[in-house]
Chains A and B, each alone.
Chain A
Amino acid sequence: MTAVGVAKLADLVFTLALAGLERIPVVEKVREMEEKGASPDEITDALQEMRKASEAVAQKKVDDAA
Chain B
Amino acid sequence: MDAKTVVAGSLRSKTQWLGAIVMVLGILQDQGQLLTQLIGPDHMGKVMAAIGLAFMVLRALTTSSLEDKVPEKTEGGFVRVQVLIVLALLSIGFALGGCGLMQAASQPVHGEKAVTTEAPALRAARVAIDEANASLVGLNTVIGQNVESGVWTKAQGQGYLDESRAAGRRLDGAREALRGGLLLDAKSQAEAVRLLVLTLHKRVAAEARKEK
Contact = CB atoms under 8 A, between A and B. Distances in A.
Whether both chains belong to one complex is answered with: yes
Nearest to A65: B154
Interface string A1-36: 100001001111111111111111011001100100
A27 B104 contact: yes
B206 interface: yes
The size class of the interface chain B forms with chain A is: 35 or more
A20 B205 CA distance: 12
B191 to A, nearest CB: 15
A27 B134 CA distance: 8
Contacts of B104: 20-21, 23-24, 27
Nearest to A55: B140
Q: Is the interface of A mostly helix, strand, loop or mixed?
A: helix
A60 B144 CA distance: 8
Contacts of B85: 1, 6
Contacts, number: 177
B202 A47 contact: no
A58 B163 CA distance: 13
Nearest to B117: A40
Interface string B41-56: 0000000000000000
A20 B101 contact: yes
Contact of A52 (B118, B157, B168, B178): B168
B79 interface: no
A24 B134 CA distance: 9
B70 interface: no
Contacts of A66: 154
A24 B114 CA distance: 17
B34 A16 contact: yes
6 tightest Cβ-Cβ pairs between the two chains A and B: A20-B105, A22-B138, A58-B144, A20-B104, A54-B140, A15-B205
